[in-house]
Chain A
Amino acid sequence: MRRILSRLFVVPAIALAVLLLAPAPSANAHGETAQEAFLRMGTVSFWDVKFSATEVEQGEQLKVTGTAKILETWPEQLGEPELGFIGVVAPGPVVIIKERKINGAPAPHAIEVHKGGVYNFEITIAGRRPGRWHVHPIFGIHGAGSLLGPGQYIEVKESGKAFTNPVKLASGQVVDLEKVGMGDVAFWAVVWLVVGLVWLLYWIVPKRTVARLPVTSQIPLNTDGMEYGLITKRDHKAMNVIMAVTLVLLAGGWIYQARAYPEKMPQQVLRFEPEPVAMTPSFVQAKATEVRYDDATHTVTMIVDVKNTGTRPATLQGFTTTTLTFPTAGVAEPVDGRSMTVSPSPTVAPGQATKLTLTISDHVWREERLIPIGESRMQITGVLRFKDDAGAENFVTVQSFITSLSA
Chain B
Amino acid sequence: MATTYTTTDARPPDSRTEALRALLNRRYRFLDRKWDIVFWATAVFVVAAAADITKLLFAGDWDFWTDWKDRQWWPIITPFAVIIIPSALQYIQWLAWRMPTGATYTALCLAVASWIGRIVQWDWFAGFPLNFVWPVSIIAAAIWLDWVLLKTKSMVLTSLIGGFGFALILWFANYITLAPFLQPMEWMGLPMTVADVQGIEYVRAQTPEYLRMIEHGSLRTFLGETQYVSLAFGGTLAVAGYWIGQAIARGLAIWPIGRYIKKF
Partner of B192, one of A108, A227, A250: A108
Which of A8-16, A259-267, A362-370 lines the interface with chain B? Answer: A259-267
Q: Which 8 residue pairs across A and B have the least CB separation, nearest first?
A: A229-B5, A140-B208, A181-B180, A106-B188, A85-B208, A257-B179, A192-B139, A253-B176
Q: A-B contact count, CB below 8 Å?
A: 330
- Which of B77-123 touch A at CB < 8 Å? 94-101, 104-105, 107-108, 111, 115
Report if A196-B143 is in contact (Cβ < 8 Å); known contacts: A87-B208, A203-B101: yes
Q: In the complex, are the beta carbons of B98 and A231 less than 8 A apart?
A: yes
Report if A178-B129 is in contact (Cβ < 8 Å); known contacts: A216-B96, A226-B7: yes
11 contacts between A and B (CB under 8 A): A97-B201, A189-B134, A210-B36, A210-B97, A229-B3, A230-B5, A249-B140, A253-B176, A261-B183, A267-B67, A267-B70
- Which of B156-200 touch A at CB < 8 Å? 169, 172-173, 175-177, 179-198, 200
A20 located at the interface, meaning its Cβ lies under 8 Å from any Cβ of chain B in the complex: no
Report if A196-B172 is in contact (Cβ < 8 Å); known contacts: A92-B203, A168-B185: no
CA of A363 to CA of B137, assembled, Å: 54
Interface centre among A175, A208, A230, by most chain B C-beta atoms within 10 angstroms, is A208
A407 located at the interface, meaning its Cβ lies under 8 Å from any Cβ of chain B in the complex: no
Of all chain A residues, the one with the shortest Cβ separation from B199 is: A267
A270 located at the interface, meaning its Cβ lies under 8 Å from any Cβ of chain B in the complex: yes
Of all chain B residues, the one with the shortest Cβ separation from A204 is: B40
CA of A317 to CA of B6, assembled, Å: 93
A225 located at the interface, meaning its Cβ lies under 8 Å from any Cβ of chain B in the complex: yes
Interface centre among A109, A129, A239, by most chain B C-beta atoms within 10 angstroms, is A109
- Which of A90-123 touch B at CB < 8 Å? 90-101, 106, 108-110
Q: In the complex, are the beta carbons of A229 and B4 less than 8 A apart?
A: yes
Q: In the complex, are the beta carbons of A181 and B177 less than 8 A apart?
A: yes
Report if A246-B203 is in contact (Cβ < 8 Å); known contacts: A222-B154, A227-B8, A266-B193: no
CA of A398 to CA of B36, assembled, Å: 73
Q: In the complex, are the beta carbons of B101 and A264 less than 8 A apart?
A: no
Q: In the complex, are the beta carbons of A108 and B101 less than 8 A apart?
A: no
Q: How far is the CB of B190 from chain A (nearest CB, A)?
A: 6
Q: In the complex, are the beta carbons of A216 and B97 less than 8 A apart?
A: yes
A140 CB contacts on chain B under 8 angstroms: 206, 208, 210
Q: In the complex, are the beta carbons of B36 and A225 less than 8 A apart?
A: no
Q: In the complex, are the beta carbons of A208 and B131 less than 8 A apart?
A: no
Of all chain A residues, the one with the shortest Cβ separation from B194 is: A180
CA of A231 to CA of B191, assembled, Å: 55
B56 located at the interface, meaning its Cβ lies under 8 Å from any Cβ of chain A in the complex: no
CA of A254 to CA of B115, assembled, Å: 23
Q: How far is the CB of B225 from chain A (nearest CB, A)?
A: 11
Of all chain B residues, the one with the shortest Cβ separation from A220 is: B153
Q: In the complex, are the beta carbons of B39 and A209 less than 8 A apart?
A: yes
- Which of A158-197 touch B at CB < 8 Å? 165, 167-171, 175, 177-182, 184-185, 188-189, 192-193, 195-197
